[in-house]
């Protein structure tokens, strides 16, 4: 009974605070309360979200700005994706990224590397509260979500998860999300979200849950831009984050070789990767490029010392082909 009362109390509180990203900071957990970026050094880099857009002026190379989610917790706008990283390669990649300034890391039960992610975080020597760790439940876990949540927490072994997502829609997704809501009430998860939910899926999903997702994580790149989805999520105070920012395996070389992107990169003295990431961020799209190469990691986190002009943004916008590179 006490647990049920606690859960209902938390839901009522969240209903008042979760209207949109970047609501009144006085009523939210702040960096000083143990959220990501919890030290004084990062306090000035914390920005709220206005209509989904990010204030990138507070970012520095190696130190992305953090935004306030509708849950009240803060999250860096740029992190490292860990898909396909395993074993020592995964651990070493994360430790390398941490030295370069990364504090946001994205994993999933489906990736099979939660243990490595957790080990790297513990070995880093950086306080846990400075990190923002996201993981995801896969649809084959939705029918036993409580067990899957506990298993994920055990594999990570970092105390709590900053953000847990449903990996993509599937049978029992609402029931799985409700199990995640209970885990929030128990202090095991701080924020909730989804992945690969578009306008139709989100419209149907929102009335069925109590805690609004803080994020949807979708495929977004210059050839598949999801303009209407971005606008919908921004209107509803939901952060949109792009996986496959470079088009995905088998497509990256072609996007990096695109004439428009190369011309803009040359004009700024930047790489095509940096231009694409900056384009995402200026559209209010958080990014999690993946790489185990320290040079590429440094390149990807060094996108806060230049700005694309409206004309350059429009030129990249014009590259949209509605060309989806994955089935999600």
Enumerate the H helices of 109-168 as residue ranges. Answer: 114-123, 145-156
Q: Round to whole Å and give the CA distance between 42 and 258.
A: 36
As a whole number of Å, the CA-based R_g of the chain is 19
Structure letter (DSSP) for residue 158: S
Q: How many CA atoms lie within 13 A of 88 on its CB side?
A: 0
Question: Do 83 and 73 meet the contact criterion of CB atoms below 8 Å apart?
Answer: no
Cβ atoms 117, 105 nearer than 8 A:
yes
State yes or no: is 111 an active-site residue.
yes
- Beta strands 215-219 and 189-195: pairing type? parallel
Q: What is the C-alpha to C-alpha distance for residues 217 and 46, in angstroms, rounded to an integer? A: 21
Sign of torsion, CA 46 121 70 309?
positive
Helix (H, G, I), strand (E, B) or coil at 1: coil
Euclidean distance between CA atoms 246 and 242, whole angstroms:
10
Of 73, 83, 102, 111, which is the active-site residue? 111
> Which H or E element spans position 242?
strand 239-243
Catalytic residues: 111
């Amino acid at each position: 009974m006490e647990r049920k009362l606690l859960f209902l109390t938390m839901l009522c509180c969240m209903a008042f605070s979760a209207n949109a990203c970047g609501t009144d900071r006085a009523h939210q957990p702040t960096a000083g309360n143990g959220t990501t970026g919890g030290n004084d050094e990062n306090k000035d880099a914390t920005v709220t979200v206005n209509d989904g857009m990010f204030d990138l002026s507070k970012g520095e190379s190696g130190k992305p700005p953090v935004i306030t989610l509708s849950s009240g917790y803060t999250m860096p706008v740029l992190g490292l994706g860990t898909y396909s990283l395993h074993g020592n390669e995964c651990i070493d990649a994360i430790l390398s990224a941490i030295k370069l300034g990364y504090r946001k890391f994205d994993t999933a039960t489906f990736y099979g590397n939660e243990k490595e992610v957790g080990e790297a975080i513990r070995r880093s020597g950086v306080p846990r509260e400075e990190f923002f760790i996201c993981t995801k439940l896969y649809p084959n876990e939705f029918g036993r979500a409580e067990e899957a949540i506990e298993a994920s927490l055990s594999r990570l072994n970092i105390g709590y998860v900053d953000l847990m997502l449903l990996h993509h829609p599937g049978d029992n997704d609402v029931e799985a999300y409700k199990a995640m809501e209970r885990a929030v009430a128990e202090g095991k998860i701080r924020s909730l979200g989804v992945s690969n939910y578009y306008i139709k899926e989100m419209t149907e999903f929102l009335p069925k849950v109590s805690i609004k997702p803080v994020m949807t994580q979708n495929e977004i790149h210059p050839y598949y831009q999801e303009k209407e989805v971005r606008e919908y999520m921004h209107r509803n105070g939901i952060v949109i984050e792009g996986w496959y920012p470079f088009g995905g395996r088998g497509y990256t070389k072609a996007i990096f070789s695109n004439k428009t992107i190369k011309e803009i990169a040359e004009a700024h003295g930047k790489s095509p990767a940096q231009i694409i990431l900056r384009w995402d961020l200026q559209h209010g799209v958080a990014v999690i490029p993946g790489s185990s190469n320290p040079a590429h990691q440094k390149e990807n986190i060094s996108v806060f010392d230049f700005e694309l002009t409206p004309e350059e943004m429009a030129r990249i916008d014009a590259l949209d082909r509605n060309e989806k590179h994955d089935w999600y």
